[in-house]
Amino acid sequence: MRIQKYLRAMRLMSGFLGALPNFQVHQHPQAFQIKIKSHWSWFYLREQQLLLFFQDPTHLVTKWRNRLLSATAELYIGNQSISINHLHDIIENDTYSKLDHGLTKSDINPKDRQNFSSCFKLTSNDLFNILNADDDTRGTLLYLRMLKMIIVAYIEKTTTIVESKHLCTLNHR
């Protein structure tokens, strides 16, 4: 219940599909201007904002992982499925050992929603190589590569601001 109150407060303060009736936050003298690209029709934000809300990178990464682990979500990239079953199959496959992929069953346990360290294991090059060898797992591979980009852009301390901007805007040329 308390989370819903916080989310509602954030929504009203930012002007996202609602407004405070007696206090126009965006008209505050200390509000700043934001120029949103006109072709970003999917991105909603008022041009004047007094404050912004950000999710911390750790929760962003674990939320991305948890979406993969969800029993109810059906995820696809194009016609490629993204599935936790691909990772279960690798763990259970006698062809591979833990030394090959680095995963344990606890890394893909949906009940452990804050298992941040498993996000690093899910983005190892060894696991990527195994997933890349099977055409049926390409969706899962792409999903985990995007997770790796989020980790590199927002969590790794060696990433420069320019590299981070490049990764988080997917501005690859």
For residue 48, list its beta bridge partners: 33
Residue 151 structure tokens: 């980790």
Distance of alpha carbon 165 from the chain centroid = 15
Is this prediction's pTM over 0.75? no
**Is residue 173 situated within a structural domain?**
no
Residue 38 structure tokens: 């006109």
Q: How many domains does the chain have?
A: 2
Structural domain span for residue 43: 2-49
**Cα dihedral sign for 155, 158, 159, 160?**
positive
- One domain, residues 32 and 102: no
The residue out of 49, 70, 85 marking a domain boundary is 49
CA dihedral 46, 165, 170, 137 (to 10 degrees): -120
Q: Show pLDDT as tens, one digit a residue, over the chain (173 residues).
A: 566 777 788 778 777 777 778 878 778 888 888 888 888 777 777 788 877 777 788 888 999 999 999 888 899 999 999 999 999 999 999 999 999 999 999 899 878 888 889 999 999 999 999 999 999 999 999 999 999 999 999 888 998 988 888 887 765 44
In one-letter notation, the amino acid at residue 137 is: T
